[in-house]
Structure 1
Amino acid sequence: MLDWRRWNKADRTLCCAFFIFLLALAWHLQARGNPWANGFLFCAEAALVGGIADWFAVTALFRKPLGFPYHTALLPRRRDAFVKASVTMVQKEFFSRSKIFHHIERLHLLPMLLSYLAQQQTKEQALHRADHYLRGALLRQDSARQASVLAQGMRASLGGIAPEQVLCACSRWLRESGRDREGLACLSRILRKRAAAPETREAIEKQLEEYEREKTQETAFGSLFSSLAKAVGLVDLEEAAALMQKRLITLAEELGMQDSPLQEQVLGLFYEQVEILRKEQAFQNFLCDLKGTLLDGLPLEAIIEQLLQNMRTQLASPGEVGSQACIPALRPRLQELLSQEYDRLLALMETNGNLHHTVEHFLYDMLARSALHAQTLVGIIVQDVLSRLTDEQLNRLVYDKVEPDLLWIRMNGSIVGAGIGLLLYLLLLLAQRS
């Protein structure tokens, strides 16, 4: 038994038109010649015919109504053209170039990227990948070849530096870093220790005795005076040596005192002599010869290769400690350097206008190219999906999207048919009476 509640409104309208036609036919047979009965039957016939015609037309889009084979089941017959048109519609309408670019322009890509990169989790992942990549790149390097290249580069760089530039740079570095005063302080401690040693006093005393002997032996009067002075205790070489040792200790301590007059005097004399040496051609020639000898004689290749081997050993076994750990601070320093460069890159992307524009342009260009490539892929996906559908699935897919409109088309067939039937019947009556 048919369930009336499961029928759509177009089927109900057509069924009502059929029953109304039966009622009109019965009234017409009962009351022949009655113009009202004839008009009612005329309208009912037109409504029924219009409803059946539109039902046939709508049904013929998807299947063969009542098995009629001619120009029916249009969608299954022309599914290839439908699929092609759907692909074109998706690519040209839904994902057109203008719409893609319009939506991309509304995105704030660089702020989104900076916000993502500023997250701690993102930073840790990026640093981990960079550390892993650098470790792998360093471990894959040929140490001997790299050592040879680096040594040649160092020799070329050092060979192009003038000796006077080295002296100026060293002097400036000593002044600015305060290492000159630190050096004098270290020298002061060494000198004080040496001056306070008993051997120093003994050496001074011997020098005084030698000096006294040389002076007293020059004349008989000097020898007599020396003997007389020793006899009465006017000359005590041991006491003089002790006093001189004490003075040396005082001078050594003063040399190490920060900003002391002696320290300033020594530093001034040192830099004055450096400036004099810097201008002397003979000293410059000596430095050039010394530089050439050192560059040619130093085994830079072996030193650099050993350093690279130590780095590779440490990178290959970062957890090793003790005497086997050649460079124990390499991994932490490398990670610290990567972290600093990561933060510096983010700061530059925010503050540097040229870099900001370049990165933003690159992001928009990359996204636009990806979207245009996806436009083609979307068409391929749509074509593949629609091609896999059966005729029934394809009919259901299309019908579900336009079902309300198709139902109203069928209902309009009955409604418009009834109206046209009424109009034609009135025209017939007017023609008969005229």
Structure 2
Amino acid sequence: MQRRLNQADKALGVAAILFVICLLLKIYYPQSIYIKGLLFCAEAALIGGIADWFAVTALFKKPLGFPYHTEIIPRKREQVIEGCIKLVQKEFFTKKQMLLWSKEGGFIDYILAYVEKNNFQKEISRRILDYFEQLLSSLNAEALAMQLDMLIHEKVQNTKLLPQVKNMMIDFINSEKGSTQIDILLKRAIQKVEEGAINDKVKAYLEEYLEEKSQGLLSMMMMFVAKQSNVLNVDEIAQTVQAQLIYTLTEMRENHNHQMRRALIDELKNSLHRLPDNIELCQSFESLKMSVFSGLQTKQLLKELIESIIISLKRPDSEGNALVRQAPLVEIITTNVENALYTLKNDIVLKRNLESYLQDVVGRALLEGRNMMAVIIRDVLEGLTKEELNRLIYEKVEEDLIWIRMNGCIVGASIGCIIFIGLHLVG
């Protein structure tokens, strides 16, 4: 917490000065009812301000060295961390919400755009051309197609799909579209908080905690006095938590360089790098890969392609050059590759099945990332010293805590005035 004087400190100082002035005036004017009233109000304001100062300070450290039920946040560090983890997992990133998010993305369109952007179709065409140049002696289209299909099938089986998908997902997170998607997720989280989705849970948690700590007679009396004097107001604390959550999430959404946003993105990337170690997820990707490969009917496509190539190769040019090196063959291969991509784009059934598989895979990845959020939060908070943790929490709710302390002076003075007037009327 900062050492500079804030408004609450100044208000407490003013109350103390007024108390001293009124006390001196009472010595010189002992019979003045106005002086007595001012002294009574100043005394009540000073007591209220000191009580609230003690209560607020006790959250972070030991006020005046008082050791009992003080320094609450540092002593309850583990409970604070666990509470943050549960709040994030149960309110913002539930399993149901993760699965719903996984069904919103057009993954197939993104993959096709990624393939076209990197000119993968040209690379495929070049490799096919090199391979067919070595097999010019074989003119059996069906046998060659079967052999090539087996080779491709083996290559597909031996190629792990998950690392490729991992790289694409990391590129997506680094892209503008990925940043926009993160903004959307944060916006939805803000809407949830604004709707009051966590208020009841926060209040219930505070009530349960206060009830747990109010077992003894002295504790019950202190808790009763604190509630009656509005020193401890569960509703105000819940509203403070809600306001601070909205503020923090809004900062993360608007400031793309925000520390917590960068930490979240870095941990997501780290989780993606660890995905290949997930055996169940790897099996799902391999099943997806083979389903896609089977749906493309590569054997028939290759047979038609080879027949077209054979026809072209049987037409020698006037100079006797090998036609495999000429432009028509390159165009044939490129055209067939583009036709395969076109089929993938326009085959609604195939595209729907692939999208379903990808949604399942992404949903599993999001659930895995949800579990990693606990690690992120724990690592960040446990890495803070006691002073850093106090400063982090205090800076987020500083204004509210200042007003709580100022309310102690204001409410104390008001109640003192009412009591004095009541006593005077009764007397």
TM-score (norm: length of structure 2) = 0.50
TM-score (norm: length of structure 1) = 0.49
Bigger Cα Rg: 1
